[in-house]
Every structure is written in structure tokens, then in C-alpha cells.
């Protein structure tokens, strides 16, 4: 059964019976190419054989490649791997078991204590929770609408602001539907900014205006909960199938490399740049505040990577050296708590060439000084179906890195925030002290 047919079945069967697609005995392979020759074989399979769901792309720097196979095609996949002498492990023999363990929890409206980070939440829960935050912190939290979706939903977010005139940190989550850890990270950061008494977190919350969108692909996210857990794209009907990859649809080197014009593929770039309401409306919203944004972070999973623009070239463009230095130090801070090692690099040098993503457009069009994309936990063992027990460790280490990123950015002369005010105050105090001492 090709992926095309498989998707066709998924699209018709559940709509008739209202059922979720089950991944019984679907196996996740962690393929370990030893050299570029083996990666080339895997690239050939990736490009030509739609029966397999490549969770990671066999780029030239891939240390592993994850492939999901239905039970009926496992034999063919293993025959291919053995024939080319390619090593592999099978970390998941039955993906449905892992999906069953994800334990999505309900959120009880008006009860902020029912939101947590030991399980995943659906779109209604996240949106209701954000509404409640605005009610709980009326002078600090405002609901913001970043755009609309193909199916007519709002791209809802929150703005956290302790006053006017501050520079902006923008958080973009959930543009790929199945990467559930992304919204779980972004909602956690939001909660920390409002409730933490950690000094650095309090300062970060006060010194910047935070624009936070946990789910920028709401239609896809809903579908990944209701019907097909492995959904990535939005939900636009295209010929006999559905969906455009919203992170290949931005108007920056659209469809140049690492994106597809084949609508059945998961990296289908759409029929033109910004063809999708989600990217069109969100980019318009971004443009309206673009000159105030100091830091833009996009959250994806997975692979333990911190990526910076651009996806079309390994050339160190724009402020590459500063961005790398700040990013590397922040990933050093990330590693302290649990030892998780992130690699930092531009998209093309760290994973593979791919264009039409949000961070390239934000960097080039809005000229935002610091722009990064996190590829969160894990490293190919559970992939998109990250166990709920890993949500908090992931969130804690990311929060550590975010605070350090702000610190490093200030050291490098970016992101003054409230720092300038404090710095000038201390300069005045020092001058007064010196005057008093020497008089």
C-alpha cells in the first residue's frame, strides 16, 4: 500500500466512521549510515518509494535516519538495508503502544491548575488555557490573533507585557502538526514567564514584550489529535489528497531546494509562496511588528539541534558568527542539567538544504537580528511520539538555554531590553560612589 493510497484510506475511512487511524505494528527504524555512499542509497529510497514515512531526511550530515514502516512493508525495507550493508536498529516495534502512552489530558476551563507538562493537550485545551491566562493576569496578558487557517480557525497567541516600548521576543510553535513537544515547550515557557520566581526568568518577562503562538498550524494539530497522529501539514484539499507543508511555504527561496511540488509528499510547498492562509496571515502579522523583534524562535522536533538561517546555502551569511557564538553558548547552558547535547549550525550545514521555512523569511525580510529554530528532543528513539515523562526534562533544559541565550545576546550587544536602563543606573551609581570616595 503506497503512502498515497494509505493517505487516501485515512482520508475516507475516518471521515465515515469517525475513527482514529491506528499504527498497530508499525515499526520505527533508526538507520545508521556509515558513509556518504549509504546516505545516497537512502536518499534514493526517500525520493522514489512512497511506502515509507521518513521521519528524518537523509541529508549529507545525517548521523541517523528514522523511517516508519507499516508491518506489510517491513520485509522490503530490511531487504533493502541488508542489500546495501546499512546498519539499523528498531527502537519501536509497535508505534501504537507509544501513541497509547501519550495520554492526552483534558483542561478544565477556569482552572489553571489543570494545565500541566506531564502530558499533551489538544488545541481546545491550549486555547482555553490561554484565555484563562488573560483573565488571571489582565494587566500583563493579552490574547493576540496572528492569523487564520484554511478551515477558519484562529492562530491564537498571548502577549506578555509589563509596559510599553519594549523590544519583542517572538515564539512560534507547532507549525508541523505531529511535533507535539513543540506546543508543550512553548506553553511551558509562557507559564514560567508568568509564574516563576527565578530572578532571571522574572527579568526576562519584565524586560521584553513576549509574543507567543504555541500552535501556528491549528488545523493540522487538531487532525493529528482527532484522526492521524503522524500528520505534518495543514489541511488544504489538494487534488486527491490534503495538506501543504507550512514550513516550506514562506516567500523566501520558495521551492528552491528541500521542498516538493508533489502534493502527496510531506514537504509539499504549495502552489506558490504564501499560498496558504496560515503563512500569509501570520507573515502579515509579523511584518506589522517586525522592526521591534529582537529574537525570533521557532520550535520543532526533533534531533537536538539549534538551527539558524539560511536553508539554501552553507555560506555564513548575515551575522552568522555572532549567531553561532550566542547559540553555542546557549546550547552549553542547555546541556548542564541533563547532559543533552545540541548541535548548532545553519539549516543547510546542520541537516540538509531546505527553503521556504519561516526563519529564513523572518531573517531576510524582517531583518530580525537573532533567529533560531530548535529541533527538540529526542534523538531518534521515540521521535515525534516523545513520552510524556520527557516533556518536563525537555522544557527545563530549553528554559535554561533560553535564559542563557538572552544573557549571551546582551553580552554580544544584541537585545538591550531593560539592560540599558539598569546598566546606565549602575554607571551613575558607580560615578557617584567614585566622586564621594575621591572627594
Among residues 300 and 377, whose Cβ is nearest to Zn ion?
300
Applying CB under 5 A, the site for Zn ion has a residue count of 2
Task: Please confirm, yes or no, whether 375 is among the known catalytic residues.
Answer: yes
Name every residue whose Cβ is closer than 8 Å to that of residue 163 and which is 6 or more positions away in sequence.
none
- Those residues whose C-beta lies under 8 Å from the C-beta of residue 44, and which sit 6 or more positions away, are none
Give 263 or 375: the residue with its C-beta nearer to Zn ion: 375
300 binds Zn ion (CB under 5 A): yes
- Report in angstroms how near the CB of residue 75 gets to Zn ion at its nearest: 30
Residue 299 CB, nearest approach to Zn ion (Å) = 9
Q: How far is the C-alpha of 27 from the C-alpha of 95, rounded, in Å?
A: 6
353 belongs to the binding site for Zn ion (CB under 5 A)? no
Q: Which region, judged by CB under 5 A, interacts with Zn ion, from 28-36, 100-108, 117-125, 293-301?
A: 293-301
Contact assessment for residue 313 and residue 320, using Cβ atoms and an 8 Å cutoff: no
Q: Which is nearer to Zn ion, 205 or 398 (CB)?
A: 398
**Nearest approach, Cβ of residue 398 and Zn ion (Å):** 15
107 vs 384 by CB, closer to Zn ion: 384
Distances (CA, A) of 405 to 324, 371, 394, 428: 11, 11, 16, 27
Q: Which residues contact 363 (CB under 8 A, 6 or more apart)?
A: 296, 309, 310, 318, 371
Position 304 contacts Zn ion (CB under 5 A): no
Scanning 99-107, 157-165, 168-176, 376-384 for contacts with Zn ion by CB under 5 A, the matching segment is: 168-176
Catalytic residue among 278, 375, 382, 397: 375
User: Of these, 3, 176, 229, 265, which contacts Zn ion (CB under 5 A)?
Assistant: 176
Residue whose CB is less far from Zn ion, 3 or 300: 300
343 is a contact residue toward Zn ion (CB under 5 A): no
User: Is position 233 an interface residue for Zn ion (rule: CB under 5 A)?
Assistant: no
Does 178 engage in binding with Zn ion (CB under 5 A)?
no
Gyration radius from the chain CA atoms: 22
What is the set of active-site residues? 375
| Residues at the site binding Zn ion, with contacts judged by CB under 5 A | 176, 300
Amino acid at each position: 500500500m503506497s503512502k498515497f493510497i494509505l493517505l487516501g484510506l485515512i482520508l475516507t475511512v475516518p471521515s465515515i466512521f469517525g475513527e482514529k487511524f491506528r499504527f498497530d505494528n508499525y515499526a520505527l527504524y533508526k538507520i545508521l549510515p556509515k558513509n556518504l555512499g549509504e546516505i545516497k542509497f537512502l536518499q534514493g529510497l526517500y525520493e522514489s518509494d512512497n511506502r515509507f514515512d521518513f521521519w528524518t531526511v537523509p541529508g549529507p550530515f545525517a548521523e541517523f535516519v528514522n523511517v516508519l514502516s507499516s508491518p506489510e512493508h517491513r520485509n522490503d525495507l530490511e531487504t533493502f538495508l541488508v542489500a546495501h550493508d546499512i546498519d539499523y536498529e528498531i527502537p519501536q516495534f509497535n508505534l501504537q503502544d507509544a501513541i497509547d502512552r501519550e495520554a492526552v489530558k483534558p483542561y478544565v476551563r477556569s482552572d489553571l491548575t489543570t494545565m500541566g507538562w506531564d502530558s499533551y493537550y489538544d488545541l481546545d485545551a491550549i486555547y482555553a488555557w490561554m484565555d484563562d491566562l488573560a483573565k488571571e493576569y489582565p494587566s500583563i496578558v493579552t490574547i493576540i490573533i496572528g492569523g487564520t487557517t484554511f478551515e477558519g480557525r484562529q492562530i491564537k497567541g498571548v502577549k506578555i507585557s509589563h509596559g510599553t516600548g519594549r523590544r519583542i521576543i517572538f515564539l512560534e510553535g507547532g507549525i508541523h502538526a505531529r511535533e507535539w513537544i513543540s506546543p508543550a515547550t512553548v506553553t511551558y515557557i509562557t507559564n514560567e514567564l508568568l509564574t516563576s520566581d527565578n530572578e532571571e526568568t522574572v527579568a526576562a518577562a519584565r524586560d521584553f514584550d513576549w509574543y507567543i503562538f504555541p500552535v501556528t498550524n491549528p488545523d493540522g494539530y487538531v487532525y493529528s489529535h482527532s484522526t492521524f497522529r503522524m500528520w505534518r501539514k495543514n489541511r488544504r484539499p489538494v487534488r486527491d489528497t490534503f495538506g501543504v507543508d507550512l514550513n516550506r511555504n514562506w516567500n523566501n527561496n520558495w521551492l528552491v531546494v528541500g521542498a516538493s511540488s508533489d502534493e502527496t509528499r510531506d514537504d509539499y510547498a504549495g502552489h506558490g509562496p504564501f499560498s496558504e492562509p496560515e503563512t500569509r496571515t501570520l507573515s502579515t502579522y509579523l511584518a506589522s511588528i517586525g522592526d521591534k523583534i529582537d529574537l525570533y524562535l521557532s520550535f520543532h522536533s526533533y534531533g537536538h539541534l539549534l538551527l539558524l538561517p539560511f536553508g539554501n546555502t552553507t555560506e555564513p551569511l548575515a551575522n552568522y558568527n555572532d549567531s553561532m557564538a550566542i547559540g553555542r553558548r546557549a546550547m552549553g547552558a542547555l546541556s548542564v542539567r541533563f547532559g543533552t547535547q545540541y548541535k548548532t549550525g545553519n539549516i543547510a550545514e546542520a541537516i540538509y538544504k531546505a527553503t521556504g521555512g519561516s526563519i529564513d523569511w523572518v531573517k531576510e525580510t524582517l531583518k530580525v537580528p537573532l533567529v533560531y529554530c530548535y529541533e527538540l528532543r529526542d534523538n531518534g528513539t521515540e521521535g515525534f511520539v516523545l513520552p510524556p515523562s520527557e516533556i518536563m526534562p525537555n522544557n527545563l533544559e530549553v528554559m535554561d538555554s533560553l535564559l542563557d541565550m538572552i544573557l549571551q545576546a546582551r553580552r554580544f550587544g544584541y537585545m538591550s531590553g531593560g539592560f540599558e536602563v539598569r546598566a546606565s543606573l549602575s554607571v551613575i551609581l558607580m560615578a557617584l560612589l567614585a566622586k564621594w570616595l575621591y572627594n
